[in-house]
Amino acid sequence: MSILTRSWVFRPLPALVTGLAALALSSGIAAAQKPYGFATLPPGTLNYTTSSAIAKVLKEKAGINILVQPTAGDTAIKPMVNRNEADIGISNIMEVGNSFKGPLKDLRLIAAVHAYRTPFFVRKDSNMHTIADLRGKRVELGYSAMRTLDAVGRAQLATAGLTEKDVKVVLVPNVVRGADDFVNGASDMFNFAFGAPKVREVNATVGGIRVLSIDEKGMPAARKVMPYGYLTEVKPGPAFIGVEKPMKVYSFDAVIFTNSKASDEFVYKFLAAMDKYKSDIVAIQPVLREFTLPFAYKQYDVPYHPGAIKYYKEHHIQPTPFK
């Protein structure tokens, strides 16, 4: 082969190299922009509002592209995250804890982010004021798409010495459907978390709602049904619709979780961004005002992800018992 021929053979290489470099660069950019799935509950729920607020702020402030993925309920969220079909999820600690004890061994916690305050609501013009007044009434239970909320309902009934046998059970798949059934007159109460848009909607639709008071002396009985529950105090105000006087309401923790396959870098960056941009997130979702690093790192029976543990250790945060 002549020198001229060899020159002709190698002449296109610079263009080829340039093309490959451009392809690699574009692939890198695409990979960097790949969204992280955030599995959550349907629109109208507290979790949907929370996940949407976090996704918006972390994308704008930290460059983490998070795609909110609404589902029918917690029973769909947990396996999605466990199988790495969604990178992170938000649920309650009972759902995650019970699933980790069962088949979903790859679940890992990132942070507890706030307390769910989930009282029983009734119509304001009813003659019901305490949970004990639900005896013989139509009470929503079951929650086929949010299984542990059935335990939450039964635990609250237990504070008044009531069981399913003392009420007329109305089966509902999730809290959104339960709220709709309440509005339509199919039940005498509904169970929902403060801060959810649906609570405000129901309040306006039925002409006012009231929170039933709970007997603190009944909490030992409630913990036999659901050990993660505790009481927190609330006062009348815009955030606590249906609260007519200072009172304690049934509460348990909301947690953000991932799976064992998630990278340490992503989990660390996610938690760091939540911590750094908390004020921006709270401006959209006030319920996250409760989120702090000490609140986030609690001693549950589910392991934390190594990326989260690294961030807590760097900030000298030790795990604390949940309330």
Q: Which CATH class is domain 117-252?
A: alpha beta
Task: Return the pLDDT at 11.
Answer: 42
Domain residue ranges of the chain, discontinuous segments joined by +? 34-114+253-314, 117-252
**What spatial distance separates the first Cα and last Cα of the chain, rounded to whole Å?**
82
Please report the pLDDT score of residue 72 as a whole number: 87
CB atoms near residue 319 (< 10 Å): 14
Query: Are 228 and 298 in contact, with CB atoms under 8 Å apart?
Result: no
The pLDDT value given to residue 239: 86
- Measured between alpha carbons, how far is residue 270 from residues 51, 213, 217, 254, 263 in Å? 13, 38, 40, 17, 11
| Residues lower than pLDDT 50 in the chain | 1-32
Q: How far is CA 323 from the centre of its chain?
A: 18
**CATH no. for 34-114+253-314:** 3.40.190.10
Angstrom distances, CA of residue 155 to CA of 112, 148, 219 = 21, 11, 8
Query: What pLDDT, on a 0 to 100 scale, did the predictor assign at position 234?
Result: 95
Identify the bridge partners of residue 107 per DSSP, sorted by sequence position: 259
Which residue's structure tokens are 């348990």? 252
CB-based burial label for 1 (10 Å; 0-12, 13-18, 19+): exposed
Q: What pTM value is reported for the model?
A: 0.78
**Runs of H (alpha helix) within the chain:** 3-10, 13-33, 46-62, 74-82, 93-101, 148-158, 175-183, 197-206, 219-225, 264-276, 278-284, 293-296, 306-314
Tell me what pLDDT residue 323 has: 67
Q: Environment class of residue 230 by beta-carbon count within 10 Å: exposed (0-12), middle (13-18) or buried (19+)?
A: middle
Measured distance CA(268)–CA(15) in Å, rounded: 40
CATH topology agreement for domains 34-114+253-314 and 117-252: yes
